[in-house]
Structure 1
Amino acid sequence: MAGVPFRSPSTGRNVRAVLFDTFGTVVDWRTGIATAVADYAARHQLEVDAVAFADRWRARYQPSMDAILSGAREFVTLDILHRENLDFVLRESGIDPTNHDSGELDELARAWHVLTPWPDSVPGLTAIKAEYIIGPLSNGNTSLLLDMAKNAGIPWDVIIGSDINRKYKPDPQAYLRTAQVLGLHPGEVMLAAAHNGDLEAAHATGLATAFILRPVEHGPHQTDDLAPTGSWDISATDITDLAAQLRAGSTGFR
């Protein structure tokens, strides 16, 4: 990739960093977590629908952050929330976590550290990296995102986890402090995400935005985020398409 940087129509500034929502946008959390749950269930002779369990575990993600976003709870890392949510879903499934080795459950919760990228993610990110700063803008903590990148070969330039900002999206400071750490104006930072709600919050703080289509993030019957719902700077079919559009300076689905 070479040439003039992409100029954001919404911010009026040249984009210098393209940052990515990670769970669902860069990596396929559902397959990875379901596989880890299935392996654990098989070892312990548990009758569990691993895919449904993965969905319920992920469904606890936002509710578990709500108390922190509201100020009712002090910040804790996503690793802690994932571990707490695992116990919650086990009990919901009729399984008492106190009857299971806590170390093994800790290891199961670490499945979130080793998720597999979508096929286009690494080549697309590598192409974008040639011209732009790239990194995650994720609710994941730094160690989680670092483990994920090392395991999956994700070529980030920088990792600024939520434990550095001590804010979870969609808190405006999650976006603004990340730009500040990079020494950039918010309008020079683009958030690329498969979730319109994330993009709405980023846009409201002055970031450039790109929608990435992930039509099976939640499985074959997904109904949300199948199309952009806002006037984002770019709408792309995947990350390699985003790279091409950044290169061409074009917008809209191809």
Structure 2
Amino acid sequence: MSDVDIKALVFDVFGTVVDWRTSIAQEASILLGKKGFDLDWLKFAELWRAKYQPAMEQVRTGKRGYVRLDILHMENLMEVLEKFSVGGLSSAELENLNKAWHRLQPWPDSVSGLKRLKNKFIIGTMSNGNVALMVNMAKHSDLPWDVILGAEPAQAYKPDPKTYLTGVEWLGLKPDEVLMCAAHNNDLLAAKAQGLKTAFIARPTEYGEYQSLDIKAEHKFDYISTDMNDLAGQLGC
């Protein structure tokens, strides 16, 4: 396998490109701190994120139709606020807090690495985030995507095969011409099963210093990298 066969790179975003945990904790501390709340902000972020997969599973299993991630995030936020006994927020304040996911900060190597990769390849998202979320995040954090792909275009959440294959189809490419890049082993395995090439990008502190999953690549992937710039170097960018 040669990188000359690869025409496009698609990326998981939450955790792979951006540091959701620290970003959400910081946003919540500012927005709720102004209202007089003093919480364990990292725990707040972690609990909100912990509801992410169960909420999407309701869609994957057909218990509810597809709804964009912004809606799931808001539903989950209401549960988390109740758990932390936070109340008295206006509709505008709730909306602003929910849109903290639109303002996530990139890992230090993400923007420089993506810009290097963009010089040689088409680069895009392959995220469960909806299009508006991804576009707003790109504007906020200078993420140089060529295209937004993933759950909303496919009307399906990863690891549903439809999510990956719709992205490939929209690019007008074959699966083996697309490199799926992620910090999560299961995401890469799902993409690999659909014929995409795979690249693991290590993010061993996504969940903090006590992270136990996805510390390293646990399977045979086409590329294994320490960060985005390492991947760019391996691909000759």
Unaligned 5+ segments in structure 2 are: none
1: CA distance between counterparts of 2:85 and 2:33? Answer: 16
1: CA distance between counterparts of 2:213 and 2:128? Answer: 20
The runs of 4+ residues in structure 1 deviating greater than 2 Å are none
What is the letter of the counterpart of residue 3 of structure 2?
Answer: F
Please give the residue correspondences for 1:32-111 in structure 2 after superposition, counting only pairs within 5 Å: 32-96=23-87, 99-111=88-100
Contact 2:10 2:180 in 1 (8 A): yes
Among 210, 216, 234, the residue aligned to 1:227: 216
2: CA distance between counterparts of 1:129 and 1:104? Answer: 36
2: CA distance between counterparts of 1:123 and 1:242? Answer: 11
1: CA distance between counterparts of 2:143 and 2:86? Answer: 35
Please give the residue correspondences for 1:107-118 in structure 2 after superposition, counting only pairs within 5 Å: 107-118=96-107
TM-score by length of 2: 0.97
How many residues align structurally? 237
**C-alpha root-mean-square deviation of aligned residues, in Å?**
1.4
SS class of match (1:160): strand
SS class of match (1:150): helix
For residue 142 of structure 1, what is the aligned residue in structure 2?
Answer: 131
2: CA distance between counterparts of 1:41 and 1:103? Answer: 13
**1:161 Cα deviation from its structure 2 partner:** 4.4
**1:95 Cα deviation from its structure 2 partner:** 2.9
1: CA distance between counterparts of 2:116 and 2:172? Answer: 23
Is 1:182 matched with 2:140?
no
- The more displaced of 34-43 and 198-207 is 34-43
**1:165 Cα deviation from its structure 2 partner:** 1.1
2: CA distance between counterparts of 1:66 and 1:210? Answer: 25
TM-score by length of 1: 0.90
1: CA distance between counterparts of 2:24 and 2:180? Answer: 25
Unaligned 5+ segments in structure 1 are: 8-13, 249-254
2: CA distance between counterparts of 1:85 and 1:112? Answer: 13
Contact 2:200 2:221 in 1 (8 A): yes
What is the letter of the counterpart of residue 6 of structure 1?
Answer: D
Contact 1:5 1:16 in 2 (8 A): no
1: CA distance between counterparts of 2:79 and 2:177? Answer: 40
Give % identity: 48
2: CA distance between counterparts of 1:231 and 1:42? Answer: 45
2: CA distance between counterparts of 1:178 and 1:161? Answer: 6
For residue 11 of structure 1, what is the aligned residue in structure 2?
Answer: none
1: CA distance between counterparts of 2:198 and 2:150? Answer: 19
2: CA distance between counterparts of 1:65 and 1:164? Answer: 15
